[in-house]
Structures are given as structure tokens and as C-alpha cells.
Amino acid sequence: MAFQPILDVRHGLVFAHEALVRGMDGSGAASVLSLVDPDSRYAFDQQCRVRAIELAASLFPRKDVPHLSINFMPNAVYEPRACIRQTLDTARRTDFPLDRIIIEFTEVEKLDTAHLLNILRSYRDIGFKTAIDDFGAGYSGLNLLTRFQPDLVKLDMDLIRGIDTDTVKQIVVSRTLDMLRDLGVTAVCEGVETAGELQLLTELGVDLIQGYYIARPTFEGLSPIPTALAA
């Protein structure tokens, strides 16, 4: 696993670290996942979460523990409470607080909405925070948001890339941020790579930022935050 921080730019503090699957050779998640056959997805999904929590428990500061954002594959989950048991056991064994775990999903494949809603509601009831990743690029988008409001929504990087010079993107993102605020959902803007993008998003009132301009993922470690952005 690698960890990439999500920075609270208003306070100059790390809000969370996202756990990302990486190969031993540094290959990305897509490359690793392409090697996982459908029959092994459930076990792979479980082991990724276990490894992420174990590493986070050893790497994160014991005081003011940041959130840990863990991706999961909804189609690998057959029954939410049964499939989360190993994750819960790992959090308890490592003394990692449940309310600091964010369960994050991305719509990389078409999903049964009723099944997905059951998962998200079950995980919220257990005490986890929930997040929708790549918002604006998935299958359900706004339709899902009308039926479930997660704690966080991560705006897709294609909406963010070059936003400081693209008036249309500025309008779309600005209206999306207004909608999320009205729904009580916290926005995260990912894929931020330039000072111009960061400045524009800050002017739009975005607090949580993720991207290479903040820090790249670090394999089995935590990325240092640039001094100019840190508290």
C-alpha cells in the first residue's frame, strides 16, 4: 500500500491519508487490479483493507490521528456486515478508531444501486465515514446523491485539471460545491497539480485538497507536506 495525503488547506493540516494499492515494483492500482481474477476479488478487497489499517496504525501519529481513507469494490461485497467483519477485527486489534476510517468507493463498473445503498448505509451505521470518489465521472452521480448523502464527495480530477484557466469548469465546479454545501456534504478536490488550480479552488471555498501539488503517494510511508502549505 501507498499513502497519499488529503490536506486541509485552511488549517495547513493533514485531514486524511488515502491508502492506494501499489505493486512491489511501484506499479499503479489499475495494473495490480488487472491481475486479480473475478473469483479472487472478495479476498483481495479484504486483504487490502487489512493491510491498509495495519500500516496506518503503525505510521499515523497516536495523537490527533488523521483519517484513513480506504477504497473498496462494491461488487466484491456480497453482504455488508459479513464482509466488513475482518476490517472491524483489524481496527480493534490495532486500536485504530473506527470514526477515523473513511470507506470510499468509485464507480469503475456498473453497480446495482440498491446493493450499493445497502452497503453505504450499513457502513455508516457501524461508525465509518463514507465517501464517493470520482464524482462527475461515474455511472450514478446525481441520482445516487439524491438517495444517499455521504460524508465526503471527491470531485473527479478531470473537472479540476486546468480549472484556473477554464471558465466552464469553474462554473460547473462552483455550482457543484454549492449543492454539496446545501446537502451538508464535504467536498474534496483531487488531482490538483498546480498553484493556479489550488488558488482558484481556495477562492471557491474548498478546504480539502489532494493531488501531486500537495504530495505524491508514498509507498508504505507518509508523504511530507510542503512547508508553504503546512501549519
CB 52 within 8 A of CB 19: yes
Cα distance between residue 87 and residue 138, in whole Å? 26
190 carries an active-site annotation: yes
The partner residues of 7 in beta bridges, in order of sequence, read 14, 209
Distance of CA 229 to the CA centre of its chain: 20
Helix, coil or strand: residue 198 = helix
If you search the block for the grid coordinates 455521504, which residue do you land on? 150
Q: Within 10 Å of residue 193's Cβ, how many Cβ atoms?
A: 15
Catalytic residue among 104, 190, 203, 220: 190
Known catalytic residues are: 190
